Chain A
Amino acid sequence: MRNVIILDKENIHFLRGEKKQSLYSISALHTLKCKDAPMYKRDGSEILLYEDCVSTAVKLFQNKLGIHIKDLQLLLPPSITWFNFLVVEDMPKTQKEADEFVLWKIQKLLPIPQEQVIIRYHLLAKDKGGTKLLIAATFDSFIKAIESCFRKLGILTTYISPPTISFLNVFENSLPKEGVVCWLRETSYSMVCFHEGMPVVIREVDREINLNRIEGELFSFTQSVRETYPDYKEETILYFDELQRTELNESFSKFANELNYKKLIQKTDSNIRDLPMYISALGLLE
């Protein structure tokens, strides 16, 4: 059994994935809350996890279902991960040296103090031009706090991923070669720019997008991309709104296409409620 937990600002959402005859059935239990208290809080250059709230919510969830979770995959809250893209000529061969090398290369670009950062990278391509890396960085103390909190409950956190990465994995077959993908959430949004078939800029914004100014936001984003990649040609704009707002469709439909999540239903239990709200969690289930 694979269990997925989405750690949101105010509560944690559970998605339970269960393999049945090679299909995944998913049930969402987003109604569980811990006295409406937040799960984490930004405090200066740190992020604090309210372990008591998380523990209480997890125990409640387990008691309600009568199960004991052994290991889980977890999605980080949005906008606490920073992304960078790097092209290097040669990568050190050992993992430790490679980690140190990548950190040294990007440390000046990170908004997190070096002693508090944890980085992970994904190899995008390797050719004559060098090795292209997608780098993600977040707060080391926050990751350790999450792991420690779940370990105390007897749960192993085997996978902790940024939500935007998971979102891209959900729609891996629909992503453009040249263009922008927008993921619009209730209180935040993400924009990912693709160039030559690879993501080159990922921006996670921790505020609600103004639907009237959405065109302007996109323009400003693509302009900043062109500064770094002058040969970038915007061909496609794709979007996904977790609230499925109709007014957004009206304003967006002139120049953008909506990512169709209905194809994904066949991978899930058809009775799932509010699937768009948990769309990123599906990226963990495969």
Chain B
Amino acid sequence: MRYKINFATYDREKVLRRRNIKLLVSVCILLLFTVFLMGLNRASTLSTELNEIKKKKDELTLKKEQLLKERRKLFSDSEILLLEAKLNFYKNTFLNRLYTTAFLNNIEEKTASGIFLKSVDFDAGRKQFIITGESLNPEAVASYIMSLQTINYVKKVEITRQTFQRLGEKKLLVSEFELKGEIF
């Protein structure tokens, strides 16, 4: 049997506990310091990038002003406005023509043999169209409407007017109709 009599007041467990706490605190401080340094580095990088962007923006602004000055030497502001208006006009006209041609092509495809078109009014600016026509078979108008609705850019088509007349010796029943539609 070993006899243990120790008068030392030194508490190894307490010292170890204190040492561990100190170590933990040191690690935490080191971690915080590292995070702080990384943040500082990131902030520095961002600041540099921001300065570069500001510099580029200033350069572009300067360039724009220079170009404006050069342009003013050639055209006045009112002339520029007029040119822009003309450009818009030609652009719209061109687009209107393009859309109208495409629309008429589609209408031609969808118009069945029992339908006689009298007029097609297409307004690309208002995004609407009006079709008037005649048919010997009233049911053909309904199927024509359904056929028009299958066109992918047609939003809706509705009948706004339909009248019936008996004509000729055989007194054929003729239906006159008006359709109004909207496009996307």
Contacts and interface: CB of A to CB of B under 8 A. Distances in A.
B10 A165 contact: no
Interface residues of B, number: 12
Contact of A160 (B6, B12, B15): B6
| Chain A interface mostly | strand
Contacts of B10: 147, 156-158
A160 B8 contact: yes
B153 interface: no
- Chain B interface, DSSP helix/strand/loop, else mixed: loop
A120 B10 CA distance: 13
B8 A147 contact: yes
Interface string A98-122: 0000000000000000000010111
B184 interface: no
B170 interface: no
B13 to A, nearest CB: 12
Interface string A40-78: 000000000000000000000000000000000010100
A134 interface: yes
A122 B4 contact: yes
B150 to A, nearest CB: 94
Range for the number of chain A residues in contact with chain B? 20 to 34
Contacts of A143: 7-9
Nearest to A199: B3
Nearest to A137: B7
Contacts of A161: 5-7
B2 A120 contact: no
Interface string B14-56: 0100000000000000000000000000000000000000000
B117 to A, nearest CB: 109
A17 interface: no
B1 interface: yes
A134 B4 CA distance: 10
Contacts of B2: 169, 172, 286
B109 to A, nearest CB: 100
A141 B5 CA distance: 17
Contacts of B9: 143-144, 147
Contacts of A156: 10, 15
Contacts of B1: 124, 172
B3 A134 contact: yes
Interface string A160-179: 11100100110010000000
A136 interface: yes
A138 B5 CA distance: 11
B3 A120 contact: no
A261 B89 CA distance: 120
A229 interface: no
16 contacts: A74-B8, A118-B7, A120-B6, A122-B3, A122-B5, A138-B7, A143-B7, A143-B8, A147-B8, A147-B10, A157-B8, A158-B12, A162-B5, A162-B7, A165-B5, A172-B1
Interface of B: 1-10, 12, 15
Give the 10 A-B residue pairs with the shortest CB-CB distance, closest first. A160-B7, A160-B8, A136-B5, A165-B5, A120-B5, A143-B7, A165-B3, A169-B2, A158-B10, A122-B3
Given A143-B7, A168-B3, A172-B1, 16 more contacts: A118-B7, A120-B5, A120-B7, A121-B5, A124-B1, A134-B3, A136-B5, A138-B7, A143-B9, A147-B9, A156-B15, A158-B12, A160-B6, A161-B5, A161-B7, A162-B5
